[in-house]
Chains A and B, each alone.
Chain A
Amino acid sequence: MARYDSLLDACGGTPLVGLPRLSPTVPAGAPPVRLWAKLEDRNPTGSIKDRAALFMVRAAEEAGRLRPGDTILEPTSGNTGISLAMVAKLRGYRLVCVMPENVSTERVQLLRMYGAEIIFSPAAGGSNQAVATAKQIAADHPDWVMLYQYGNEANARAHYETTGPELLHDLPTITHFVAGLGTTGTLMGTGRYLREKVEGIQIVAAEPRYGELVYGLRNIDEGYVPELYDATVLSRRFSVGTRDAVLRTRQLVEVEGIFAGFSTGAILHAALAVAHEAARAGRRADVAFVVADGGWKYLSTGAYGGTLADAEEALEGQLWA
């Protein structure tokens, strides 16, 4: 238990909890393989993005880019927007979010509740289109400040200065860190910090594999890699299909009582893959992974239904390597 001067000061410092029931069982006498979940849903607005939002706003303030009353513009489908909306409210800014028109209703409601204004971009272009629309709007409003999470070093630095040190403090024996790959801020920041401090640590990325429409570019040269991304920070990178992500998300709440969003299911799928590999090889492993947010915002997708038995059957043989 702790006391904080304001909600912003309560950002980070999230619990790391062991998952004894999901961790692979190893033969008696073999080195232990343990899974640990970092509960980022315990941040002020319920996701890991509070860390990045707070750092990006602070950095802009310190650089003199943001002054009280200014307008922040950001392309985001939800978590970053919700986090920025809270930070903006408490620090006296107006927030305008650009997001695909088809994001879940919970997200839109949450954002409006926190006081954000929303501009919708066409659904078909997905996140790339939201970035493009935000860019057009920024050109029309040169006085608005776009923090641009995909290329903002303070996004990654939030994790270098907070998430990484917290993990090392709570789990000095960490061997693997597994997180989702979106803006790449979490993996770049935490990954760099842990690589500096822990010999031989494995930094593992889980990226969601989307439906075909999301990849509907006209040609390969229209592809997009976030400016923050540096492949040398990673040891491995997994692409996780939606079905695997959904099934792991359900397994996590069913077996360990953690109700998480679907990106966490993708992350858990990768974490289990490396944990089982270590167990088979007879190697000790402490695998820490990120629970990026809770499941509340995704209930309207209906993807939490059905029995675990169905999920397990469908999962058979799905583990990597």
Chain B
Amino acid sequence: MAIEVRIPTILRSYTGGAKVVEGTGDTLGDLLTDLDSRHSGLRARLVTDAGALHRFVNVYVNDEDVRFLGALDAKLNDGDSVTILPAVAGGAFGFAAAAAIAQHKLAAVATVADGEAGRRVSAAR
């Protein structure tokens, strides 16, 4: 059996557009190495040169954030589900937006470099 991995839109260029891919590994680090053998370049987008998870990447094993489970050393089991997501401004903010987007069936995709703005705001403070 394998581990199912959900890929966010921005990283699907590495998976030939696939939303979900499969891999194996006893830890998250092993899994990412395994995935990289078939989806070259993916690992480098998630793990820094220093060997830590990228600051703006969140990885969840069965809905739980791996940073609290040992990060790249987090243990995995067959049948686990891994979800990779970029970090975004959250809260009820996102909830309201998600609900409304579903309602309005907006086809548009975000076009603005929003994270850049976030950093500018913090720099300006």
Which residues of A line the B interface, CB within 8 A? 76-79, 100, 102-104, 107, 122-132, 134-135, 148, 150-151, 180-183, 205, 207-227, 231, 234-242, 245, 261-263, 292-293, 298, 301, 303, 320-321
Contact = CB atoms under 8 A, between A and B. Distances in A.
8 contacts: A103-B97, A122-B112, A127-B89, A128-B114, A131-B117, A134-B121, A222-B56, A320-B63
A235 B65 CA distance: 10
Interface residues of B, number: 56
A127 B119 CA distance: 14
Contact of A128 (B8, B102, B118): B118
Interface of B: 8-11, 45, 54-58, 60, 62-65, 67-68, 83, 85-104, 106, 108-122, 124-125
A221 B114 CA distance: 10
A123 B57 contact: no
Contact of B94 (A208, A261, A301): A208
A261 B91 CA distance: 12
Nearest to A303: B99
A151 B121 contact: yes
Contact of B68 (A210, A219, A236, A241): A236
Contacts, number: 240
A77 B68 contact: no
Given A102-B104, A128-B117, A217 B92 contact: no
B104 A321 contact: no
A262 B99 contact: yes
A129 B83 CA distance: 24
A222 B101 contact: no
A223 B116 CA distance: 8
A151 B60 CA distance: 25
